[in-house]
Amino acid sequence: MSTQTNKVEELIELRAQARLGGGEKAIEKQHAQGKYTARERITMLLDEGSFEELDMFVQHRSHNFGMEKKQFLGDGVVTGYGTINGRLVYLFAQDFTVIGGSLSETMALKICKVMDLAMQMGAPVIGLNDSGGARIQEGVNALAGYAEIFQRNILASGVVPQISTILGPCAGGAVYSPALTDFTIMVQGASYMFLTGPKVVETVTHEVVTQEQLGGAEVHARKSGVSHFSVEKEEDAIDLVRKLLSFLPQNNMEETPVKPTSDPIDRLEDSLNEIIPDNANQAYDMYEVIGAIVDDGEFLEVHADYAKNIIVGFARFNGRSVGIVANQPKALAGVLDINASRKAARFVRFCDAFNVPLVTLVDVPGFLPGTGQEYGGVIVHGAKLLYAYGEATVPKVTVTLRKSYGGAHIVMSCKQLRGDMNYAWPTAEIAVMGGAGAVEVLYAKEAKESSDPAKVLAEKEAEYNKAFANPYNAAKYGYIDDVIEPRNTRFRIIRALQQLATKKQVNPAKKHDNIPL
């Protein structure tokens, strides 16, 4: 055998060794826990045969605690690039079979390399996270490594989409990189995110909790809102990444991709002419409206389990992606509160950063009153959504279906927040407040002095509703561009978006804004 052949054989052997990660036993343990290995995950995620791996031979440089004897080719993370539906993506997949996927200085360098490439090429970064956090044996070098990654997450924010899938534990500093990215996907019963684990919690606060209770997928999907998606299986998380990317441009300089559709643009949806109940206090399901108007009824909801009083997610009109923000009358009557404001503001800002037009469907009775909200800072949190809509320069189409009252009317992409096309259904009620509340303020004294207060208030309320509970008052001032037939909503939105496709709007030059945080 020639020297060259020997060297090629050696390369092949080394590659095989690297592909084994932490070794067969560790792989078996990973599988026994119902988890895939880093490489298996990459194979599922990328287009077949498209993966190009980088830094397969990187090894850590630590000599503490006998670490020099614990060497694994690739050092606990698989990095590289490939394609998803033919479009370039960069990724890193932490390999839990290698020292628990813990983050070393060299692992951080590998991750930073793909992030730098993604920024230069203008392509999304996907993190497949499965890690015990900073590699304890590496001390400050591991911390520095995290900081290098965070810095890149920050600079990449708003430039290329960043998606984090959490496919195992994600402890300590490991949670902050996902928190800095655009979307976080967690797997039920398999992934955890917490700053400090149950043991530390018990020591410090004497609170006894399980990993699941502290930072499981359900907790972050429903309570904290830290994760945007909670899925049942790893396969679902991988599919979701592919689906999510199909709605997004590669970077902030690109337009959103177009997916051809056979759904007619002028499809009339007769059911929408009858969807609003006669009783203004009765709910209907906003999902029905969304499903009826978007291409093929396809809607990818974000934050589905968090702040259900507002719905956000991606859909398409005539093939082009949009971000939908809609009040949900079926949850808390669609009222705006702290969580709904935060949820929607973050989504609106994502869409604006990545040229995704916004379609807003309004049916909002106002902001939720009370000490709970005020003490929690609803003023500042509500201002986030106000700010997000006001600064957004992407095309903005608003349709008011029913209620649009007070501050909530302004916040939900009204004309003066540079809403481009503001439409209303004939059932719209655009006013400072609802009739019952208004007459209580205006006629309380008169009612009290009369022999039949209820009658006085009812009469005044009917008068008020006649004058204000309609869209024509707002239309009279041009605050509403047109009152449209509900069944024609899809067509009118598509026409508006077509018109707005070349919209150019620039905010004043500044270092950066100061959104209320």
Question: Which residues would be at the binding site for ligand HXC (CB under 6 A)?
Answer: 99-100, 102, 132-136, 143, 146, 169, 171-174, 176, 197
Q: What is the 3 state secondary structure string of 391-423?
A: HCCCCEEEEEEEEEEHHHHHHCCCHHHCCCEEE
d(CA 214, CA 228): 17
Helices (H), 320-377: 338-353, 371-375
Please provide the DSSP assignment of 463-487 as one string.
HHHHHHSSSHHHHHTTSSSEE--GG
Q: Which of 82, 100, 172, 334 is catalytic?
A: 172
Q: Among this protein's residues, is 172 annotated catalytic?
A: yes
- Give 23 or 369: the residue with its C-beta nearer to ligand HXC: 23
Query: Closest separation between CB of residue 146 and ligand HXC, Å?
Result: 4
- Give 139 or 377: the residue with its C-beta nearer to ligand HXC: 139
Query: Closest separation between CB of residue 369 and ligand HXC, Å?
Result: 39
- Give 68 or 482: the residue with its C-beta nearer to ligand HXC: 68
Query: Closest separation between CB of residue 134 and ligand HXC, Å?
Result: 3
- Give 133 or 313: the residue with its C-beta nearer to ligand HXC: 133
By C-alpha distance, which of 424, 400, 427, 435 is closest to 475? 424
Q: Among this protein's residues, is 23 annotated catalytic?
A: no
State the burial class of residue 82 (Cβ atoms within 10 Å of its Cβ: 0-12, 13-18, 19+): buried
d(CA 286, CA 292): 10
- Say if CB 359 and CB 493 are below 8 A apart: yes
d(CA 409, CA 336): 10
Query: Closest separation between CB of residue 28 and ligand HXC, Å?
Result: 13
- Give 173 or 471: the residue with its C-beta nearer to ligand HXC: 173
Q: Computed from CA positions of residues 83, 84, 88, 93, in that sequence, does the dihedral angle turn out positive or negative? A: negative
d(CA 231, CA 248): 20
Task: Classify the phi-psi angles of 55: left when phi > 0, otherwise alpha if psi is within -120 to 50, otherwise beta.
Answer: left
- Say if CB 354 and CB 249 are below 8 A apart: yes
- Give 143 or 380: the residue with its C-beta nearer to ligand HXC: 143
Collect all residues with Cβ–Cβ distance below 8 Å to 516 and sequence separation of at least 6. 380, 381, 383, 384, 387
- Give 171 or 237: the residue with its C-beta nearer to ligand HXC: 171
By C-alpha distance, which of 483, 489, 369 is closest to 428? 483
Query: Closest separation between CB of residue 172 and ligand HXC, Å?
Result: 2
Query: Closest separation between CB of residue 186 and ligand HXC, Å?
Result: 15
Q: What tokens were used for 456? A: 């006085």
Query: Closest separation between CB of residue 98 and ligand HXC, Å?
Result: 8
Helices (H), 20-60: 24-32, 38-45
Query: Closest separation between CB of residue 171 and ligand HXC, Å?
Result: 4
Q: What tokens were used for 30? A: 């990973």
Q: What tokens were used for 155? A: 């600079």
- Give 39 or 303: the residue with its C-beta nearer to ligand HXC: 39
Q: Which of 18, 142, 388, 408 is catalytic?
A: 408
Q: Among this protein's residues, is 173 annotated catalytic?
A: yes
Active site residues: 172-173, 407-408
